[in-house]
Amino acid sequence: MGSERMEMRKRPTAAPPEAPGSAPGQPGVGSRGSNACCFCWCCCCSCSCLTVRNQEDQRLTRASHELRTDFPACEESPTPTLEEVHAWAQSFDKLMITPAGRNVFREFLRTEFSEENMLFWMACEELKKEANKSIVEEKARIIYEDYISILSPKEVSLDSRVREVINRNMVEPSQHIFDDAQLQIYTLMHRDSYPRFMNSALYKDLLQSLSEKSVEA
């Protein structure tokens, strides 16, 4: 018995079998080292994706800013003549057809805090001149955000029917997506603001100034 016990003590303990597919001296698949590498790779991949996404967002923001129509305080135009100013009193169309007429009327709208009506009308006119499909879509989105959206401080007053039509057509907008809305705002300015403009000090002072210059000449 004593000799058998001595022999058992001298036998080397058998090493546990290695997992199949693992090379000697290397950690197994489930080891911490492998997980660390995987974690690092995932982090790098995520960072790369975020970088690409941020760059794309910045590109779209720059494109939107470039296409946004920020009209100057007034359009370039020669000083209106006395005949032109007299013609503005004949019809709203004659006022709106000239840059000088739009400038003076827009100045009046500014005093009534309704300049957005003219700005929307002008933006629609610019949209109609555009032929590039992608630019039309982007400009239509900008006009919608600036003047149609209920969240915009420059929202124009439109009825629900016109809004519903615009909302449906925004899926694939064209140059004429706002035609009904533009006509509605044009009519609003004609019926509401135009009569007050004709009786305003702004119009009467301009008419008097040009009349005096005409007499002096």
Q: Give the model's pLDDT for residue 188.
A: 98
CATH number of domain containing 173: 1.10.167.10
In a domain, 105, yes or no: yes
Kind and range of the H or E run holding 40 = helix 32-67
Cβ contact 50:180 at 8 Å: no
Taken as a whole, the chain contains a residue count of 217
In a domain, 24, yes or no: no
Q: Which residues contact 210 (CB under 8 A, 6 or more apart)?
A: 80, 81, 82, 85
Q: Give the model's pLDDT for residue 31.
A: 44
pLDDT tens-digit readout, 64-81: 555 565 667 678 888 999
Cβ contact 193:114 at 8 Å: yes
In a domain, 156, yes or no: yes
Domain tally for the chain?
1
pLDDT-flagged residues of the chain (< 70): 1-71, 73, 217
Distance between CA atoms of 36 and 148, rounded to whole angstroms? Answer: 52
In a domain, 32, yes or no: no
Tokens of 114: 């309704």
The gap from C-alpha 106 to its chain's centroid, in whole angstroms, comes to 24
In a domain, 20, yes or no: no
Q: Give the model's pLDDT for residue 23.
A: 45
Kind and range of the H or E run holding 55 = helix 32-67
Instruction: Answer left, alpha or beta for residue 155, where phi above 0 means left and psi between -120 and 50 means alpha.
Output: beta
Q: Give the model's pLDDT for residue 78.
A: 86
In a domain, 189, yes or no: yes
Q: Mean pLDDT of all residues in the chain?
A: 81
Backbone angles phi, psi at 96, to 5 degrees: -80, -15
Q: Which domain holds residue 135?
A: 99-216
* Cβ neighbour number for residue 139 with a 10 Å cutoff: 22
Which residue's entry shows tokens 């546990």? 16
In a domain, 140, yes or no: yes
Tokens of 184: 């509605």
Q: Give the model's pLDDT for residue 54.
A: 58
Q: Give the model's pLDDT for residue 165.
A: 97
Alpha-helix runs per DSSP H in 72-159: 82-88, 92-96, 99-111, 115-128, 133-143
In a domain, 57, yes or no: no
The gap from C-alpha 32 to its chain's centroid, in whole angstroms, comes to 49
Residue type (1 letter), 106: R
